[in-house]
Amino acid sequence: MFNNLYVLTAFFLFFVFSLYGNNGTPQEEYQIHINRTNEKIVVDGLLNEATWQNSEVASDFWMSFPVDDKKAELKTEVQVTYDDNFLYVAAKCYDPNGYIIQTLKRDANFWSGDGFAFVVDPVNLKTSGFLFGVNPYGVQMEALITGNTGRRGSRGSGMNDDWDNKWYSKTTRSSDHWIAEIAIPFKTLRYEDSKDTWGINFIRSEMSDNSFHTWTNVPVQFRSVDLNYTGGLIWDEAPNKIKGNVAVIPYTSGGVFSDFESEPSTTDTDFNIGADAKIAVTSSLNLDVTVNPDFSQVEVDEQVTNLGRFNVRLPEQRLFFLENSDIFSDFGNSPARPFFSRRIGLDGDGNSIPILYGLRLTGNATKNLRMGLLNMHTRSTDDFLAQNYSAAAVRYRVLDRSVVKAFVLNRQSVDGTEFQSNDYGRNAGLEFTYLSKDNQWQAWTGYNHSFKPGITDKNYYYKAGIRRQGRNFSGIINWYQVQQNYYLDMGFLDRINHYDAVRDTSFRVGYGSLFMDFEYQIYPKKKGNITSQSFSIFNWITPQADEKDIIARRTSASYELNFRGRSRFRVSLANELNELLYPFTFTSDDSDEPLPAQSYITNILRLNYRSDQRKPFFYDLEFTQGGFYSGTRTGIEAELNYRVQPWGNFGLKMAYNMLQFGGPYGERELYSFSPKIEINFSNNLFWTTFIQYNTQAENFNINSRLQWRFAPMSDIFLVYTDNYLVETDDAVDNFRINNFGPKNRAIVFKVNYWLTL
């Protein structure tokens, strides 16, 4: 049955190819000419140089959201120029309504406040680009953009805003307008020599009426940063390759670490020195090097309550892995990613495993070829042998925007200086993604294979699917299958391991997944309080691999209402089937019996409301009620935030879940509380304290971090972290703490300096 679905989906791919046409490009209509300046540009937000009086102006912006069929009422004027070292962008944003921002912290909640940004595609191939933005208070934001940023509001954004780099900006504010003056070093960008046209678009976020404005006419269903809708940046003379494009980022760190769980408890000190380097091999190909890296600046992972039977995938935040990360990570699909960088240098609990070195070469090798090579080596520990990780990935552009891509991965254990021939994990795959010129059709197919000692069958994965992203109607059909012996030693694989609570062991079970989601979006024709309404139907079926038995299914219908102030109401009703292949328990009481291995069918109601984020106090509330396997679940989640513009943010996340199974199967209450305090003394000095209490993890965590950015991309960190074991009584009518004690504690400092050579 499901093999036939695979063939049917493949047929859809060929159908999509017939839709490929010669649509026009916005660059034919939207062009801005950039001329060299011989004048010294002082980045002060004043625009009093003669160059700005004579430069071409891009104005007359379109509305991009909540409508896309009329010009923006507020005026925006943008100019560009350059010299030997910098690309300069100046924006004058007229706004008599005052300014709203969320924070003075770099990158944080940029799109929820007033701001100006521009996206630039130096190679002009619509496959990758850079995004730079600044708000009226001078807070910077930057991100890497892929060629597929998807539909507005979709989960996969194609944006990586964890990426940081060195650039300069200054803003000034007046009663009816604000000005942003920006200088981007050519050393920060990756571009081809002698390319006289770049893709570019200018974006303005305006909170007074919750709107987005763009220079080119970007359809409302797509994100404003979509590379397919860039205009043309026409150079008077194509910029040449910048010579000596090397950045070295040395660091030193140290701290005091206490372990109270060891017998006896211990306190140790640590001191480290290491360095990262970014070397431009060519103007569009970058080499990242790390020696004895330290990732202590990465914020603590946010704890979540996991009510499923499978793992939660946490995001990558380490800078070394971020630039051009899509070259490696954009294979498989979300539940089955062959490459997931958190598998390198971190154990299953998120604890660091020392890395000896890392090399990473990424970027555009030719006009149509993007490539990535990676090699990293971890040190041995008391619990793990040393590991060598290698990866190679290529993406070749065909049919204007479509991509043929392939990868090879290898994890190899090393004992001393000897590679362990019987301890490795390898993967290889070939995939194809089609994307139409107008961005409204996408299709994909692919096959991946894993290699392990002694395993020769049922060790592969394949997928195929199609997506439509129209103005009103959007839909996706996706099919993939994971065989039981398909391993991802360098990746993330969900739903493959099924725990047997009676035998206290796990079994691998191959599975397939047929995912269908259809949505109809309604946009108002006239300006009003409602910005959109949507109706969606979702169906997901998971059969056991090579079997007809359904082991999971979810069918749901939902309605969403979005208001101008970005408040939102959503209601959904779902019917679920879950087949327990082995006995399983969701309670922690040893006297409770595991749920028996059988089918469970339940109905679930979910209500969600998010308030207006423009107001100082805003919140997000969600209520869930319905069946949960043999019992019921009542869930309440709340996120409360209070903003003191521009210096303070005070938040609290809370989650409560009541699981009741009845009879001998027990019941359980789960709580989590996560207060967060953020004090911004200036654009360069931040103090963030994050507290987490999670009864499921039986952990209480305090993480307090002071960060001073004393120079561009150069920081001093002082971090205090403390973890406590919290054991509670699970009896519903007698919830109390039975045991509270310290687990570990650390005070860490780190200094890093970005040196451009």
pLDDT, tens only, 349-391: 667 788 899 999 998 888 899 999 999 999 988 888 999 999 9
d(CA 615, CA 102): 10
d(CA 742, CA 227): 50
d(CA 104, CA 649): 10
SS (H, E, C) 552-568: EEEEEEEEEEEECCCCE
Residue 613, SS3?
coil
Specify the range with the lowest mean pLDDT, choosing from 169-173, 302-306, 402-406, 585-589. Answer: 302-306
Taking alpha carbons only, the member of 279, 191, 215, 238 closest to residue 82 is 238
Q: Which residues contact 275 (CB under 8 A, 6 or more apart)?
A: 248, 249, 250, 251, 290, 291, 292
Q: Which residues contact 596 (CB under 8 A, 6 or more apart)?
A: 580, 583
Task: Check if the beta carbon of residue 469 is closer than 8 Å to that of residue 221.
Answer: yes
| Within-domain flag for 463 | no
Q: Which residues contact 45 (CB under 8 A, 6 or more apart)?
A: 138, 170, 171, 172, 179, 180, 181
pLDDT, tens digit, for every residue of 45-63? 999 999 999 999 999 999 9
User: In which domain, by residue range, is 619 found?
Assistant: 495-696
Task: Give the alpha-carbon dihedral of 168, 174, 178, 184, to 10 degrees.
Answer: -10
- R_g (Cα) of the chain, nearest Å: 27
**Which secondary structure element, helix H or strand E, spans residue 422, and what is its range?**
strand 418-435
Last residue of a domain, which of 180, 202, 235?
235
| Within-domain flag for 422 | no
Taking alpha carbons only, the member of 590, 146, 473, 170 closest to residue 327 is 146
d(CA 133, CA 169): 9
d(CA 229, CA 433): 19
The tokens describing 622, both together, are 């969600």
- Angle subtended at Cα 505 by Cα 501 and Cα 508, rounded to the nearest 5 degrees: 110
Task: Check if the beta carbon of residue 260 is closer than 8 Å to that of residue 744.
Answer: yes
Cα dist. 729→18, 589, 669, 702 in Å? 63, 9, 10, 23
Last residue of a domain, which of 696, 715, 739?
696
> For the residues 14-29, what does the mean pLDDT come to?
58
21 pLDDT more than 50: no
| Within-domain flag for 85 | yes
Taking alpha carbons only, the member of 539, 560, 403, 392 closest to residue 477 is 539
Q: How confident is the model at residue 309 (pLDDT cuts 50, 70, 90)?
A: very low
**Which secondary structure element, helix H or strand E, spans residue 537, and what is its range?**
strand 530-543
For residue 467, count other CB atoms closer than 10 A to its CB.
21
Cα dist. 442→16, 326, 433, 484, 539 in Å? 8, 17, 7, 29, 20
> Looking at residue 74, which CATH number applies to its domain?
2.60.40.1190
477 pLDDT more than 90: yes
> For the residues 254-267, what does the mean pLDDT come to?
88
Per the structure, the count of domains in the chain is 2
In terms of C-beta density within 10 A (0-12 exposed, 13-18 middle, 19 or more buried), how is residue 465 classed?
buried
Residue 326, SS3?
helix
Task: Give the alpha-carbon dihedral of 338, 339, 340, 342, to 10 degrees.
Answer: 120
Task: Check if the beta carbon of residue 151 is closer than 8 Å to that of residue 221.
Answer: yes
Cα dist. 141→135, 148, 160 in Å? 9, 20, 11
Q: β-pairing, 231-235 with 31-34? A: parallel
What's the pLDDT score for residue 698? 82
Last residue of a domain, which of 666, 696, 726?
696
What residue type is 369 in one-letter code?
L
Q: How confident is the model at residue 298 (pLDDT cuts 50, 70, 90)?
A: very low
Taking alpha carbons only, the member of 56, 65, 58, 51 closest to residue 202 is 58
**Which secondary structure element, helix H or strand E, spans residue 329, and what is its range?**
helix 326-329
What's the pLDDT score for residue 399? 86
Q: Omega of the bond prior to 264 within 30 degrees of 0, cis?
A: yes
What's the chain's average pLDDT?
88
| Within-domain flag for 27 | no
Task: Give the alpha-carbon dihedral of 447, 451, 452, 455, to 10 degrees.
Answer: 70
What's the pLDDT score for residue 696? 82
The tokens describing 48, both together, are 């009093």
| Within-domain flag for 123 | yes
Task: Give the alpha-carbon dihedral of 375, 380, 381, 385, to 10 degrees.
Answer: 90
> For the residues 696-717, what does the mean pLDDT come to?
90
| Within-domain flag for 58 | yes
Q: How confident is the model at residue 734 (pLDDT cuts 50, 70, 90)?
A: very low
The tokens describing 57, both together, are 């102006």
- pTM, 2 dp: 0.85
| Within-domain flag for 364 | no
What residue type is 650 in one-letter code?
F
406 pLDDT more than 60: yes
Q: How confident is the model at residue 5 (pLDDT cuts 50, 70, 90)?
A: very low
| Within-domain flag for 639 | yes
The tokens describing 272, both together, are 């480290």
